[in-house]
Structure 1
Amino acid sequence: MRVLVTGGAGFIGGNLCRRLLADPAIDEVAVIDDLSNGHLQALDGLEVTFEHASILDDRAMARAAHGCSAIVHLAALGSVPRSIANPMSTHDANATGTLKVLEAARANGNAHVVLASSSSVYGANSAIPKTEDLQCLPVSPYAVSKLASEQYAMAYARCYDLPVLPLRFFNVFGPGQIPGHVYAAVVPVFLEAALTGLPLPVNGDGEQSRDFTYVGTVVDTIAQAVVSRTTGSPMNLAFGTRTTLNELIRMLGAALGAELGIEYRPPRPGDVRHSQAANDKLREAFPSVEPVSLSEGLESTIAWMRQHLGNRLATTAGSVS
């Protein structure tokens, strides 16, 4: 089996490529990535066929997808704030980009497509936990683009019998998630600040909650979906936990053995207050997948982040030892 991973040089993509290559059912892994968000270091030591191009490039997509029986579509412009600052680029990458991927799959004998959606599609729907049958009320251009990608996939399933599985990710974290840019996710942002002696930046009061999901669990689930050719309507990929940012900071402080400073900032527009997945559908489809606990996942992530930051830890004043 040849599998194409779009956005394969990203945080989740690099972890997924490593997991796919370890699976005896998979013969070859190809990657297409324009490196606008990804980094080649994510693929260090991995034998993949790499296409340095955008998924919006039809010819490049055709080359990358040639001979593939499955495509895992991770390529996207993430971040709610980025989508608010530039909604058109988010739409182009996420909605139009997904359409390009689905067309490439259709041209390759209806290759199986597993695609990454987002918990942000639930938006202003305040019900907790989030079940897949809830009305989606997106509150940012990013969330709208992800909902559009899901709906395109389901339309292709109905119109062309394309085998698809949209997975709604909830706050994925773990080794390989790089901080140091304005749209970085919360766990690497907090860790970088903690390990370099800076206050942790919190947008809002810190009582907003998230369903943090370890990247190893995410890629195990995706790999199982690819090998088993699981299809269906949008499915949450998270395990029903609910942790506030203030609780996350306390856990990081305990793991690091340090009292962490906090800088509370105004809330950001487009951010959802609470997020927690219902996981009945996921458990039924993938009963053997066991989630890694937040505390265990943070330990692995801290170890990776220390190595990533390298010499900065030894030279930055006030760093956590």
Structure 2
Amino acid sequence: MTKVLITGGAGFIGSFLAHKLVKLGRDVTIVDNLSMGRKENIDDIDVTFYQHDVCDHQFMHELLTKREFDYIYYLAAVSSVADSVERPLETHEVNQESVVDTLEYIRKQNLPIKRFLFTSSAAVYGNLPDFPKQEDSHVQPLTPYAIDKYASERFTIDYGNLYGLPTTAVRFFNVYGPRQNPDSPYSGVLSIITKCLKENKPFTLYGDGSQTRDFVYVDDVVNALMTISKQSNEPKVYNVANGGETPLIDVIHTYEKISGKQIKIKFAESRNGDINKSKADISRLKEIGFEPHWSLEDGLKNYWDYYAKK
């Protein structure tokens, strides 16, 4: 049976990936310290779960040796830009040092993995004028989060080029959908808007709402990861997105129509590190057979139906 490790697998995206892999008959192991993830996200599937920190290198080494995973999806991260600005060193330890340590251990022990996939972020692109963002566009990481993500994806790709490891990196754009944790101030914007709509609370909008994002539904993200994992080509970076661009204020109005509710918006100054415009070129992903299936409106409808029932 194919053995898979998902770090951060109790989180939003990781748990969706775990459900998909279990459904396909994979033997799935999850490592998650539950700082952002939730155990309830994976309670209904048969996985081996370790509530542990990926920064515990000895634990990770023993697990990698014992299990000899075929596939490793590295999703564990301090996933907030704002949090990384507040805690740059802690962010660095999780978002870069743990990744490099894992790659180095795989290399030194010559572990027979079939694919190591690191999840990076569109935050690496910053506010440079290249548009839409292609994988070979200029980068301008503006925060500790973006710096560590970019450095880790380069380590991932270079471990492939230099040492022959089967590595891949993906840059997530704005992923949304059920199981996002809205209770953290560092959550994805759509999860916070969803909670505000349901609980009739005001939403704080940083900036004037004209900032654009490329929102991609979590089901499409999981399908993209599965498609990429099957590739046997040289190490590459892939944008994972819908390929669209929507102003945040328009997203809010669309969501209001879907939910049948209005949200009170409190405008605030833009935050350090926030991106003004974001849109992905997903040509490279389409070349290997991926097509997004979820429109923003359909994704928001599904998200609202899920959250309204909770």
Asked whether the equivalents of residues 242 and 292 of structure 2 are also in contact (C-alpha less than 8 Å), the reply is no
Amino acid at match of 1:6: T
Corresponding residue SS for 2:137: coil
Asked whether the equivalents of residues 31 and 64 of structure 1 are also in contact (C-alpha less than 8 Å), the reply is no
Give the whole-Å Cα distance in 1 for the aligned partners of 2:307 and 2:162: 45
Percent identity over the alignment?
A: 33
- Aligned to 1:215, which of 215, 218, 243? 218
Alignment of 1:19-168 (within 5 A): 19-24=20-25, 27-65=26-64, 66-106=67-107, 107=109, 108-168=111-171
Cα drift, residue 209 of structure 1:
0.5
Asked whether the equivalents of residues 32 and 61 of structure 1 are also in contact (C-alpha less than 8 Å), the reply is no
Structure 1 pair 231/186, CA: closer, same or farther in 2 (3 Å)?
farther
Give the whole-Å Cα distance in 1 for the aligned partners of 2:163 and 2:9: 26
Give the whole-Å Cα distance in 1 for the aligned partners of 2:152 and 2:81: 16
Name the residue aligned to 1:181: 184
Give the whole-Å Cα distance in 1 for the aligned partners of 2:27 and 2:300: 31
Give the whole-Å Cα distance in 2 for the aligned partners of 1:252 and 1:208: 17
Whether 1:301 and 2:303 are equivalent positions in the alignment is yes
Which stretches in structure 1 are left out of the alignment for 5+ residues? 309-321
Asked whether the equivalents of residues 161 and 235 of structure 2 are also in contact (C-alpha less than 8 Å), the reply is no
Name the residue aligned to 1:317: none
Asked whether the equivalents of residues 193 and 203 of structure 2 are also in contact (C-alpha less than 8 Å), the reply is yes
Structure 1 pair 264/230, CA: closer, same or farther in 2 (3 Å)?
farther
TM-score by length of 2: 0.94
TM-score by length of 1: 0.91
Give the whole-Å Cα distance in 1 for the aligned partners of 2:219 and 2:293: 8
Which stretches in structure 2 are left out of the alignment for 5+ residues? none
The one-character-per-residue Cα deviations of 1:137-174 (angstroms, maximum 9, x if unpaired) are 11111100100111111221122101111000001000
Asked whether the equivalents of residues 197 and 262 of structure 2 are also in contact (C-alpha less than 8 Å), the reply is no
User: How many pairs does the alignment contain?
Assistant: 305
Name the residue aligned to 2:292: 290
Asked whether the equivalents of residues 55 and 100 of structure 1 are also in contact (C-alpha less than 8 Å), the reply is no
Q: CA RMSD in A?
A: 1.5
Cα drift, residue 104 of structure 1:
4.2
Whether 1:240 and 2:243 are equivalent positions in the alignment is yes
Give the whole-Å Cα distance in 1 for the aligned partners of 2:163 and 2:113: 8
Give the whole-Å Cα distance in 2 for the aligned partners of 1:14 and 1:254: 29
The list of structure 1 runs, each at least 4 consecutive aligned residues, that deviate by more than 6 angstroms after superposition, is none
